[in-house]
Structure 1
Amino acid sequence: MSSYNRRLHLLTLIFFLLPLTVLSELASARSALLSFRTAVGGRTLFWDTSSSTPCSWAGVQCENDSVTGLRLPGVSLSGQIPPGIFKNLSSLRTLSLRLNRLSGNLPPDLASCVELRNLYLHGNQMSGPIPDFLSSLRNLVRLNLASNNFSGNVQASINNLTRLGTLYLENNQLNGALPDLKLPKIQQFNVSNNQLSGPIPTALSSMPVSAFEGNHLCGKPLDICPGIAAGTGEISGSGSGSGRKRKGLSGGAIAGIVIGSVVAFALVLMIVLSLRGRRSKKSRGVSISSIKRSDVGFPTEKSSGEAENGGMGVGYSAATAAAAAMTENGNGKAAEVNDGGNGGKKLVFLGNAARVFDLEDLLRASAEVLGKGTFGTAYKAVLEIGIAVAVKRLKDVTISEQEFQEKIEAIGAMDHKNLVPLRAYYYSRDEKLLVYDYMPMGSLSALLHGNRGAGRTPLNWEIRAGIALGTARGITYLHSQGLNISHGNIKSSNILLTKSYDARVSDFGLAHLVGPSSSPNRVASYRAPEVTDARKVSQKADVYSFGVLLLELLTGKAPTHALLNEEGVDLPRWVQSIVKEEWASEVFDLELLRYQNVEEEMVQLLELAIDCAAQHPDHRPSMPQVTMRIEELCASTMPQEQDDPHPALISNADDRSSR
């Protein structure tokens, strides 16, 4: 046989044998998965066993005729994973068996999955030590073993996982000291609620306090370890093996130090209490007037009705309030109220807002700074008659007084239950103030990110879906007022909440009042890519911002903090990369993962958010379409009101006690 014929014969043989090899690999994987189902799945995995390939089975992902993903979260798996199945699933890159009832040890043949990048086993009942063979899986990027019954020590061999970005070991029974972990790419780390003790490794000192709570650990970011000299990291006093004797203090010296310390502490305590007493007296007199007259430039002279008590003023009686209310013209037009002698300046009320206070009452009110936003600083002002209002002091207003008045009155005419009502405004050459209803629960941003520690009340699906729908309805109403009307600054800090967690959209229309300098970089993460001037934002650009807001609701991540690699990607790009490479359910906030019966609705809302955050404006839906899709996905899980064409998902009775 010639050399050419031999080569041809070899190629022909390879051609026929290659499919058999592929089929053999898939057949082995199929057999392993069926063994897995028999051991832990029971009737919960409805796989079509008549199929010759497992690639069509729910939760099984294949690439290049290999099983690369097995994702079975929250499907009531129970029992122990049998040994020997993973050696036939060696191409796995993602294994997600979270939120089941699996028990026992991790099978050692898992070490054969050398391509494994993501291992999610949290929320099971697995026990035994964390196996050392996990450190041989050098491609691991995310390892989540939280909320199991793992015990024993955290092994230093974890340092072999140089690509690891996420390590969650909280809520187990781990003990001993933390090894000197040095993971160069670690971004997410948690060992809270174990039985660990000793110092925290220096390389982990930048992690939040919540990552170490519920142990007996010490060192930054927790308290300094006892016996460690501050600033030196060395143990004070050497051991007996150091070759030197320790010099102890005499009993008298120790007693003197103790007595001196007690006396010094008592003196310091008396001074602090004295200062606090003086400060409390002064604080009772702090008012929005003092803030404005010292920092804002309002007149400093007192009105005739103002007492010498730090600007709080004398009683503004109910009779005075009633008289002011009776002077209301009631015709729905803006009404001017004199300021009680401050140079003719006036507070202008909008629509049918009750005229029960004037500018001087506002200036005498006790004030609390709520925050500094894109367009200015917001205050909570509590008037003497007991009413609380929110006052926004605008900055960088660039339009004339007449144009300002026209635009503000247009904003005041916006009337929808999912908008924060604008009640009044004040205009002078130097100062522009807006008066809104006060929202007692603060912003969505504070609710999502303000407290992620042990005392936090989790936000359930019903609340988040209600906020999403209420926000969508408010924005849809704005867009319905004209083709060129948009919000221009949609972000979580501009979604305010009532006591019953109803969403109210704030700051609408203000982008047209200020200059471009009032658009800091920190809001760029919500801004559509085509926007170059913050004063000219289209309705489709609003849709993009709302899409980022939905992603924030679903993932629990602030857009500016969703940076999981050195290049730094924004939240939409991060979510899309996770969904493409792994699985949609892995992006959700852990607080949402307990609601397994609404996982389909969560995925639908995630898909809608991705559609809204499309790069090209023409690929984004309109806000009415967005609202309709949210209403449809909520219909099966949320109670609907019969009389309202846009029903609220949660009661909007503001007098209900806070949950």
Structure 2
Amino acid sequence: MAAKFTCIRVITAAILLILLPATTFSDLSSDRAALLALRSALGGRSALWNVSEPNICLWAGVTCSSNHSTVIELHLPAVGLSGSVPPNTVSNLTNLQTLSMRFNSLSGPLPSDLSRLSDLRNLYLQHNFFSGPIPGSLSSLANLVRLNLADNNFSGPIPTSFENLTRLATLYLEKNNLSGPIPDLNLPGLVQFNVSNNQLTGPIPKGIAEKNPKSAFEGNPLCGQPLNDLCDNGVGHSTKKKGKSLSGGAIAGIVIGCVVGLLLIVLILLFLCRKRREKGGVRSKVEGGTKQSDVEMAREKPGEGVEKDGVGGGFAAMSAKMKEKEKGEGNIAGGKSLVFFGKVGRGFDLEDLLKASAEVLGKGTFGTAYKAALETGITVAVKRLRDVSVSEKEFREKIEVIGKMNHVNLVPLLAYYYSRDEKLLVYDYLPMGSLSALLHGNKGAGRTPLNWETRAAIALGAARGITFLHSQGPSISHGNIKSSNILLTTTYEARVSDFGLAQLVSPNPTPNRVAGYRAPEVTDPRKISQKADVYSFGVLLLELLTGKAPTHSLMNEEGVDLPRWVQSVVREEWTAEVFDLELLRYQSVEEDMVQLLQLAVDCTAQYPDKRPSMVEVSSRIEEIHRSSLQDPAADIIDETEEKQA
């Protein structure tokens, strides 16, 4: 009898082994049919799927389960999809967990049969042209965590049945044509909510109002908190206090009073200007009329206030000030001058520099940077240091170390000047500016997108420059790594600037834009370890990948830094959502982007000993960059199609 049962078990196991591959094949066949049906119904780059490839898990944007038995994610963001999504296409991907078709041109109603996707956790359909009501059947998606239908043409009410979505954490419905009241959704896990710019009416439910800012409701005729419009007896009519209207005589009196007051202010200003000119004339006569006033260097905004021919302040004003002080010290002939490094040709001296046209490039942590165009045709960048806290001897020793550092990915220090009142550093001038300006400066229609290959190359160049700094000794660090200190050549090669200056200045209160890069263990800006540099570089990588500034990464909420935001996104399994929209065109290198993202997360680990060294960081970026260059064909196709469009 025992032998009989053993035989039956063996036969049963054999049958299961035979049937299991067939079941797996059947699942993938069904998913393949669904994807092909979707491809034939929609225009866009889904048509570029290589249908001759039998393994759909290798198709762009398609992610399968670990055993390759079924499709669990479909990512088709910003790929030019158009048309209506027909029923029995996406809904036939029955094991789908993430669906992203955002930033396309999809139209028509949302298929109600999406409710069949019982495992769906993330649904991203924002920035399309979907219309009609939001299907109430979506409320049957019990596992749904994130729902984003913003920037569409949906109309009608918000389904009250959304209260059944007990796991929902994100509900974005802004910029649609939704009407009616906001349902009182009792969803404790709902932490991201936005219904702004619709046609919703009535009072804002108290439970939702308490958790969300005013911006989540603006652009609707709503009432109640957090908006300023009060509700009338709770029925949705807003009431505003009306002040008494002014009579015509009162208005005329106010106008006359304003005119008289303005005339008095003008007369006072003219009187003060006249007195000041008279005082200046007396001083000129006493001093022989040749001395320039002791004014500070110009404080124009970056890119403004070019001073021609050394007239009108800037270097010329400082020149007069420095000459006068050196005259009193008997240093005018053999006094202090520029100290050059290495084999730099002395094509100019301090006098030439101070006579140059000066343009303010920007104000940073350590001082103001200027573009100086010398009369000889040479253009250099000059940094005027502030709050230098070390002695002259220590300053010269540390600057000598900085000046001797020579690497292709560092901005070379050409020369410096030191006096009691002025400390100047002279660098090569790079006309392309900084990575920060390139990422965050021009957001208009004329902006040149920063593609993946360029970003990867910038990351590699910056990593190599910092790795070289760290190789000079365990106590050598940069101390102020941020995107505004990564300068670019005309071919977008990265050059690291401002290295070593953190040890020369007083530890002033840190601006928010610097704090976003600073490692959590750093308390003294002058004492930054190499592992703290790694943290800052990790934030820089996140900035490159997300396109977001370090301290303004999530809805401009204060206190939410970039590493925390990225980690929260990755933790919720919607990794693709962190990338800059300009990078989503390059689907062929999505795996490389994810690898660089993981490296950035490793670099921004909370504890220093958990972070890699810069040598390891450079090596990993080099591998990723090399992988990206092996198959650039997809990116070329993307760019060609974009130009044709």
Q: Indicate whether the TM-score tops 0.5.
A: yes
1:501 Cα deviation from its structure 2 partner:
6.0
Q: Which residue of 2 aligns with 1:295?
A: none
Q: Which amino acid aligns with 2:134?
A: I
1:391 corresponds in structure 2 to 383
**Structure 2 stretches of 5 or more lacking a match?**
1-8, 41-46, 276-285, 299-306, 317-321, 634-645
> What are the equivalent positions in structure 2 for 1:38-117 lying under 5 Å apart?
38-42=36-40, 44-45=48-49, 59-62=62-65, 69-74=72-77, 79-84=83-88, 92-99=96-103, 102-117=106-121
State the SS of the aligned residue for 2:65.
Answer: strand
Q: 1:36 aligns with which of 30, 34, 51?
A: 34
Deviations 1:168-208 (A, max 9, x none): 556x652558848888777766778x675889966698466
Structure 2 counterpart of 1:3: none
1:306 counterpart = 2:291: yes
Q: Secondary structure at the match of 1:341?
A: helix
2:626 equivalent in structure 1: 632
The question of whether the paired residues in 2 share the 8 Å contact of 1:338 and 1:358 is answered with no
Which amino acid counterpart does residue 397 of structure 2 have in structure 1? E
Alignment map for 1:401-480 (pairs within 5 Å) = 401-415=392-406, 418-427=409-418, 434=425, 436=427, 443-445=434-436, 447-449=438-440, 457=447, 459-461=449-451, 464-465=455-456, 467-479=458-470
Alignment of 1:258-273 (within 5 A): 258-260=251-253, 262-263=255-256
Give 5+ residue unaligned stretches, structure 1.
Answer: 1-10, 239-246, 283-300, 325-335, 640-659
SS of the residue aligned with 1:471? Answer: helix
Conserved 8 A contact 1:22-1:65: no
Show the counterpart of 1:555: 546
What does 1:34-433 correspond to in 2, within 5 Å?
34-42=32-40, 44-45=48-49, 59-62=62-65, 69-74=72-77, 79-84=83-88, 92-99=96-103, 102-122=106-126, 124-135=128-139, 137=141, 139-146=143-150, 148-152=152-156, 166-169=170-173, 174=177, 176=179, 179=182, 206=213, 235-236=239-240, 254-260=247-253, 262-263=255-256, 305-307=290-292, 340-341=326-327, 343=329, 346=336, 348-351=338-341, 352=344, 355-357=348-350, 361=354, 370-371=362-363, 373=365, 376-378=366-368, 380=370, 389-395=381-387, 397=389, 399-415=390-406, 418-427=409-418
- Whole-angstrom distance in 1 between the partners of 2:287 and 2:464: 45
CA distance in 1 between counterparts of 2:221 and 2:455 reads 35
Say whether the 8 Å CA contact 2:182–2:200 is kept in structure 1: no
Does the aligned pair in 1 maintain the 2:145–2:167 contact within 8 Å?
A: yes
User: Which segment drifts farther, 273-282 or 412-421?
Assistant: 273-282
Q: Secondary structure at the match of 1:307?
A: coil
Could you tell me how far 1:412 is from its partner in structure 2?
2.7
Rounded to whole Å, the distance in 1 between the matches of 2:230 and 2:269 is 31
Q: Please give the alpha-carbon distance, in whole angstroms, between the structure 1 residues aligned to 2:58 and 2:353.
A: 72
- Contact persistence 1:391–1:433 (CA under 8 A): yes
Offset at 1:405?
Answer: 0.3
Question: Which residue identity does 1:121 align to in structure 2?
Answer: L
In 2 relative to 1, CA 499–100 (structure 1 residues): closer, same or farther, beyond 3 Å?
Answer: same
Shift of 1:166: 4.4
The whole-number CA distance in structure 2 between the counterparts of 1:357 and 1:40 is: 70
1:349-368 CA distance string (max 9 Å, x none):
43346545459959x99896
Distance change >3 Å, CA 623–CA 22, structure 1 → 2: closer
Pair 116,380 (structure 1): closer, same or farther in 2 beyond 3 Å: same
Task: Give the conservation status (yes or no) of the 8 Å contact 1:104–1:127.
Answer: yes
The answer on whether the counterparts of 1:67 and 1:91 sit within 8 Å (CA) in structure 2 is yes
Q: Indicate how the Cα distance of structure 1 residues 97 and 15 shifts in structure 2: closer, same or farther if over 3 A, else same.
A: farther
How far is 1:45 from its partner?
4.7
Task: Name the count of aligned residue pairs.
Answer: 572
Residues 175, 76 of structure 1: alpha-carbon distance in 2 compared, 3 angstrom cutoff: closer
C-alpha distance after superposition, 1:16-46 (max 9, x if no partner) = 9999999999688546524422421246555
Alpha-carbon contact 1:173-1:195 (below 8 Å) kept: yes
Per the alignment, do residues 439 and 259 of structure 1 end up closer, same or farther by CA in structure 2, a change over 3 Å counting?
A: farther
Scaled by the length of structure 1, the TM-score of the pair is 0.63
1:606 aligns with one of 593, 597, 609:
597
Residues 443 and 189 of structure 1: CA distance in aligned 2, closer, same or farther (over 3 Å): farther
CA displacement at 1:408 relative to structure 2:
0.6
Percent identity for Structure 1 against Structure 2: 45
Look up the equivalent residue of 1:632 and give its one-letter code: R
Distance in 2, Cα, partners of 1:28 & 1:437 = 64
CA RMSD in angstroms comes to: 6.2
Partner residue of 2:610?
616
**Local SS of the residue matching 1:306:** coil
Cα distance in 2 between the residues matched to 1:494 and 1:396: 19
Shift of 1:406: 1.8
For residues 623 and 115 of structure 1, do their structure 2 counterparts lie closer, same or farther at Cα, with a shift above 3 Å needed? closer
Counterparts in 2 of 1:63 and 1:578: CA distance versus 1, 3 Å: farther
Separation of aligned partners in 2, 1:169 and 1:341: 70
Amino acid at match of 1:341: K
**Structure 1 Cα separation of the partners of residues 265 and 447 of structure 2:** 34
CA displacement at 1:119 relative to structure 2: 0.9
